[in-house]
Amino acid sequence: MNAAAEARLSELDRATDAHKLSTGLAEELFAVADLLTGHSTLRNALADTTSSDARRRAMAEAVLAKRAGKATIAVVAEAATLRWGTGSRLAAAVERQGLRVMFGAALAAKKLDSVEEELFRFSRAVAADPDLRAALDNRNAPVMVRQQLVTDLLGKKAEPITVKLAQRAVASARRAFERTLDEYLRLAAATRQRAIATVTVARPLSEEQQRRLQEVLIGKLGRSVNLQVVVDPNVLGGARVKVGDEVIEGTVVGRLAAAEQQLTQ
pLDDT score for 141: 92
pLDDT computed for residue 213 by the predictor: 81
Q: In what order do the strands lie in the sheet with 194-201?
A: 224-231, 194-201, 239-243, 246-249
| pLDDT > 70: percent of the chain | 86
How far the first Cα of the chain sits from its last, in Å, is 40
CA dihedral 203, 207, 208, 213 (to 10 degrees): 70
Amino acid at site 149: L
Helix (H, G, I), strand (E, B) or coil at 245: coil
Query: Residues 6 or more apart from 257 whose CB is under 8 A from it?
Result: 212, 216
- Burial class of 135 by CB neighbour count within 10 A (0 to 12, 13 to 18, 19+): middle
Contacts of 101 (CB under 8 A, 6+ apart): 16, 21, 22, 23, 25, 26, 29
Q: Check residue 90 and give its pLDDT.
A: 96
* DSSP per-residue string spanning 181-206: HHHHHHHHHHHTTEEEEEEEESSPPP
Task: Give the C-alpha distances (Å, rounded to integers) separating 196 from 26, 91, 124, 199, 226.
Answer: 23, 26, 15, 9, 5
From first to last of its 265 residues, the chain has per-residue pLDDT tens of 678 888 888 899 888 988 888 999 999 999 999 999 999 999 999 999 999 999 999 999 999 999 999 999 999 999 999 999 999 999 999 999 999 999 989 988 889 999 999 999 999 999 999 999 999 999 899 999 999 999 999 988 899 999 999 999 998 867 789 899 999 999 998 887 666 678 888 788 888 888 888 787 777 766 667 677 888 877 666 677 877 666 766 544 444 444 444 444 5
Q: Is 228 helix (H, G, I), strand (E, B) or coil?
A: strand
65 contacts 55 by C-beta, under 8 angstroms: no
Q: Could you read off the pLDDT of 121-178 as tens digits, one per residue?
A: 999 999 999 999 999 999 899 999 999 999 999 988 899 999 999 999 998 867 789 8
The secondary element (H helix, E strand) that includes residue 16 is helix 3-17
Q: How far is CA 204 from CA 121, 127, 198, 263, in A?
A: 15, 19, 13, 9
List phi, psi (to 5°) of 177: -55, -45
SS3 content of the chain, % helix, strand, coil (to 5): 70, 10, 20
Positive/negative CA dihedral, 90, 6, 18, 104: positive
| Residues in Cβ contact with 207 at an 8 Å cutoff, skipping those fewer than 6 apart | none
pLDDT at 195: 60
pTM over 0.95: no
Which pLDDT score, from 0 to 100, does residue 256 have? Answer: 46
pLDDT tens-digit map of 54-74: 999 999 999 999 999 999 999
* Cα–Cα dist 12/96, whole Å: 10
Please tell me the predicted confidence (pLDDT) of residue 150: 95
Contact 197, 228 (CB under 8 A): yes
Q: Which CATH class is domain 193-264?
A: alpha beta
Rg (alpha carbons) of the chain, rounded to whole number: 20
